[in-house]
Amino acid sequence: MCFIIPFMEYLTAKQVAEKLGVTAGRVRQLVAENRLPATKFGNSLMILESDLDLVRERKKTGRPPKVKSQK
């Protein structure tokens, strides 16, 4: 049996990390949390470039900046 997969633009976790400005470990964490869909090819996680929009618009983490009060 042979499956034909249409050509799609897959990226590795490292390539996704560079595009998102995060580490490859963070990309793997997003996949583990099911926030970023991925396919496993051998030992590599492959992510569709079109799926990057699912995590691109994320909230800024950390403490919000202090608001300076006007007197």
DSSP for 35-68, please give it: SS--EEETTEEEEEGGGGHHHHSPPPPSPPPPPP
pLDDT for res 66: 83
Locate the domains of the chain by residue range: 10-51
CA dist 21 and 53 (Å) reads 13
CA dist 27 and 20 (Å) reads 9
pTM above 0.85, yes or no: no
pLDDT for res 24: 94
pLDDT for res 59: 60
Is residue 15 over pLDDT 60? yes
Q: What is the mean pLDDT of the chain?
A: 83
